[in-house]
Each structure stands twice: as structure tokens, then as C-alpha cells.
Amino acid sequence: MRLIRDSLNATEVAHISMETPLGKVIDYLPQVKLINTDIFTKFMKLDAAYCQLELGLYGLCSDCEIDIEPPRLIADPTEQRCTDCEQKFRREHRHELRLNH
């Protein structure tokens, strides 16, 4: 949160606090040129996991809808895909993923 607050002007900082909804924080990141950062990626994954939780779909693969392996969720609670679907996704999108790094 401090990185975001440090990048905003005084008026914008007044609107961000620990109570600010995650969606609003995410909306600020492109405005302050933090869209291609690790924090943006983490917030997006957190927001997706929270949405799944609200819908009662947390822990299900977003592609095949089977249960994500518990050790995978323990390692990263924001994981969106089971191992098989993650491997398939990475194979199919490897060129796009390479361009983002």
C-alpha cells in the first residue's frame, strides 16, 4: 500500500486507506503507472480469488472446474488453475507470457 501511496498525489492519497476496496486500488494502479508490476499482479490474483470465494467457487480450477490440488493452494492461496490446466495455459500462451517479462 505504501508503494501505491508514494506514487499518488496528495488528493489521490486522501482516497486510499486500508479500508479502500481492492477494486478501487486496482483501478488506481494504471493511473500511477504501476500496471506492469508485481504488486499489480498480486492484487489481480487476490481480487480473482476473493471473487471466487464470494461465488462459492474458491478452490475450483477456473478452466476445468475440478478441485485445485490442496498443496498447490497451500503454496499459493490465489492459485486459479489446477496443475494440468496451468501447464496447458503456459504452453498455449508462452509467447504472450514471454512478452510480459
Confidence of residue 66 (pLDDT cuts 50, 70, 90): very high
When the pLDDT of each residue in the chain is averaged and rounded to a whole number, the result is 80
Give the sign of the dihedral formed by CA 60, CA 66, CA 70, CA 73. negative
CA 6, CA 95: separation in Å to the nearest integer? 33
What is the pLDDT averaged over residues 1-15?
Answer: 56
